[in-house]
Structure 1
Amino acid sequence: MARLPALLLLPLAACAGREPPPCPPGHEAALAVLDRGIHAELNVEAAALVGRPRALARGAPALRLGYGKAGFFDIPGGPGIVAHALAPLPGPAVMEALPVAALPDPAVDAPAYAVPLRDPGGFNAFLDATLPEGPLPPGRFLPARPGYSLLHTCNTWVARGLGAAGLPVSSAGTVRVSGIVAQLAAVPGACRLR
C-alpha cells in the first residue's frame, strides 16, 4: 500500500522538465503563455482580438490576461493572511486585462512560450464568455465567469483558453504551470521565447 502515493506521482514526474524548444531568432507570435511560477497568464496581440476582447487592449499593441479569485488575485501589494487561508474555497473570480507594449510583456521577467493561434474565433469566444455580461466596466480587473474553485483555477483557465485557440491542451493535470508547459512541448510550432 505504501507504493500507491508514489504511483500517483508518476504522471507529474513525467511532465517535469518538458518544455518547447527555444524560438528561432526574430520569432513573432500572436499568443504566448507566461509562466509566473504557480500562476500562468496569457499574452495576446491586440490585432488577434475582436469585439469586446479587442476593447480590453485600449489601443495597446498587446494584452496580458490572467484569471484568479476575487479578493486574492486583485489585491494591490498581495493578499493578506486571511485571503491566503480562504484561497482554496470557491468564490467569485476576476479576469485581469492589462494593455501592454509587446508580446511577451517586457515588464514581466518570467519564462514565456509562443504558441500558434489556430482558432482566433474560438479564442475570442472563450474570452468573451469569461467577461461579465453587458457593457465592460473600466479597470484592470473585471468580474469573470465562471467563478473560482479548485477545479477552475488560473491554470485551468489558461489551459481552457489554449484549447479554445485550437491547441491540443487539456485542463487536466494543470494544477501547476508545469502541467501546461509540458503539454506545450508537444504542440507543433510552440517554442520558448525567453
Structure 2
Amino acid sequence: MTWYKETGWLFLFIILLLSISGCASALSWQSFPDSIENERSVYVINHGWHAGLILPYESLVGLPHIEETLGYSQYYEFGWGDADFYQAEKITSGVPLKAILWPTDSVLQVVSVLTYPHAHFPHSEMVEVRLSRQGLGRLVDYISASFYRDLDSQFVVLGRGIYKNSHFFKATGGYQLTNNCNTWVAEALERSGVPVSSFLTLTSDGVMQQTKNAVLEYECCMR
C-alpha cells in the first residue's frame, strides 16, 4: 500500500471518530447537592480547539503549589494537552501530526482568572456546572493527579504559559488522538458525577454539548 493510501485511511479514521465524538449514551447525575445552598460552581470553557475547567480559589486548598507559583487569584483555569503543541511558539505540520500518531508527553496550563470567569473571558463560550461538595472534591482529586510530581512531591514548573498570568506544569498521562485535551475535561466531569462521557469525546463542541445537556437535566431535577 502506498504512503498516500495509508495517510488517506488515517484521515478517514480521524473523520469517523470526530463525527461520533461527544455522543454520550443515556447518563444520569451520580450525586446532587443536598440543598441549593451546598452547590459548588465550576465552569467549562470553550477556547475553540480545546476546552478547559475553571475552579474557584477556595476549592483548591489541597493544591498549594498553584498559589505559590501564580499568586492568589479568585479563580484558576486548567487545561491539559500535548507538551510540544501546547508550548510551541510556532506550530509546524509535524507537531500536531506527532500528537495524532502516537502518545506524547503532556502538560497542564494553569491560568490566573483574576475576576468573574465571564468577565475575564468575555468572548469564550462558557457553561456553569453546579456540583455537590463530594463531586467537587473528586474533580479536584482528578486535577491534582494530573500534575506530575518530582521525588520531593513538588509540581514541576516548565515555564510561562500562553496567557500573561499563566504557567505550564509537567503533567501525567500520554496525549494522543483518543486521549486529548477535550477527553481530559470530559473525564474530569465524569469523575465528579456529571453525566458526561469521555469515550470518544474528542472535540470541544462535544464537551460543551454534553455539559449543556447535563445542566438542563440538573435544572429540571433541582429546581
TM over 0.5: yes
1:86 paired residue among 95, 98, 109: 98
What's the secondary structure of 2:86's corresponding residue? coil
Residues 1:180 and 2:207 are matched in the alignment: yes
Structure number with greater Rg is 2
Task: Evaluate the alpha carbon distance shift between residue 94 and residue 11 of structure 1 in structure 2; reply closer, same or farther with a 3 A threshold.
Answer: closer
Which aligned pairs between 1:16-165 and structure 2 lie closer than 5 A? 30-52=41-63, 54-57=64-67, 58-76=71-89, 78-88=90-100, 89-104=102-117, 106-108=119-121, 109-118=123-132, 119-133=135-149, 134-138=153-157, 139=159, 140-165=167-192
Task: Report the identity percentage.
Answer: 27
Shift in Å, 1:80: 2.7
Measured on the aligned residues, the alpha-carbon RMSD in Å equals: 2.9
What's the secondary structure of 2:174's corresponding residue? strand
Structure 1 runs not aligned, ≥5 long: 16-27
Structure 2 runs not aligned, ≥5 long: 1-12, 25-38, 160-166
| Structure 2 letter corresponding to 1:84 | P
Deviation readout 1:133-162 (Å, 9 max, x if unpaired): 211234411111112122210000000111
Distance across 2 between alignment mates of 1:69 and 1:8: 19
Distance across 2 between alignment mates of 1:81 and 1:12: 23
**TM-score computed with the length of structure 2 as normaliser:** 0.67
| Structure 2 letter corresponding to 1:171 | S
What is the count of residue pairs matched by the alignment? Answer: 171
Task: Evaluate the alpha carbon distance shift between residue 91 and residue 186 of structure 1 in structure 2; reply closer, same or farther with a 3 A threshold.
Answer: same
Contact kept, 8 Å, 1:73 with 1:79, in 2: the verdict is no
- Structure that is richer in helix per residue: 2
What's the secondary structure of 1:173's corresponding residue? coil
| Structure 1 letter corresponding to 2:57 | A
Task: Evaluate the alpha carbon distance shift between residue 13 and residue 67 of structure 1 in structure 2; reply closer, same or farther with a 3 A threshold.
Answer: closer
